[in-house]
Amino acid sequence: MLGGYVGPIAIGVAMLLGARAAGVARALLRASLLLSLPIAVSVVLVSVFTRPGSTVLFTIGPFDATLEGVDFAAQTLVRLLAISLSIGLFLLTTEARAFVFDLERRGVPPRFTFVALATIEAVPTLVERAATIAESQRARGLDTEGGVRARVRGVLPLVGPAVITSLTDVEERSLALESRAFSRPGRRHLLWSMPDSGRERLLRVVLVLALLGAVVVRVAGVPLPVVG
């Protein structure tokens, strides 16, 4: 019965230890919990009351909460946390630019690098622009603090300029970039390379093999001591 918990908890703890080492443990925990919360709530509600089971813990209306249901929900939650902690740790400790450039070094086309980086950069720019637009429209009397009706009225005057200027910016930028040989097909020599070491390479190989091994074991149905 406990078997289903060991794996995910082990992963979760490993991720948290890694996060501690990187100094992002608190941020990781907060982000993972916040992101998992909505799904977790629905999982719990559904599983606790609908899993077929024999041991009833309590009843709410026509719904029975079973021990089996609680067990299933708990296992799912723990797996969910393991996943979100791993993804979270990756996102928090990997610099986006470094990641994208390294992909390019390994053969991904430069266009992809540009799109990925531009997308990341686009967000703060858009946020700034939205604030500027809101200012201009407020200066014309648009009420951004009022009731629902006022807010609905404000959608087009706020969204319209944002969309239009984003599009014209893209047009202008793509013209300007032609003069920087942006449309040249083919690879380029990046100025920067990701520092790597023998140890990290070995670790990567080991992790990939472990993943493959785990899949094979699962598929082949090999019984392991702790599988519940």
Catalog residues that contact another protein under the rule CB under 8 A. Answer: 97, 110, 113-114, 117-118, 121-122, 125, 129, 132-133, 135-146, 156-157, 159-161, 164-165, 168-169, 172-184, 186-191
CB of 90 to another protein, least distance (A): 21
DSSP state of 62: T
DSSP state of 145: S
CB of 155 to another protein, least distance (A): 10
CB of 213 to another protein, least distance (A): 39
DSSP state of 109: -
CB of 136 to another protein, least distance (A): 4
Name which of 18 and 157 has its Cβ closer to another protein.
157
Name which of 55 and 125 has its Cβ closer to another protein.
125
Tokens of 122: 């686009």
CB of 189 to another protein, least distance (A): 5
Residues 79 and 8: beta-carbon distance below 8 Å: yes
Of the candidates 115, 107, 96, 100, which has an alpha carbon nearest to the alpha carbon of residue 188? 107
Residue whose pair of structure tokens reads 């703060």 in the numeric block:
124
Q: What angle do CA 11, 30, 15 make, to 5 degrees?
A: 20
For residue 83, the tally of other CB atoms under 10 A from its CB is: 16
Residues 95-100: contacts with CB under 8 Å, at least 24 apart: 96/120, 98/194
Name which of 106 and 140 has its Cβ closer to another protein.
140
CB of 165 to another protein, least distance (A): 5
Name which of 59 and 168 has its Cβ closer to another protein.
168
- DSSP line for 176-213: HHHTTTTT--S----S------HHHHHHHHHHHHHHHH
Name which of 74 and 130 has its Cβ closer to another protein.
130
Name which of 186 and 198 has its Cβ closer to another protein.
186
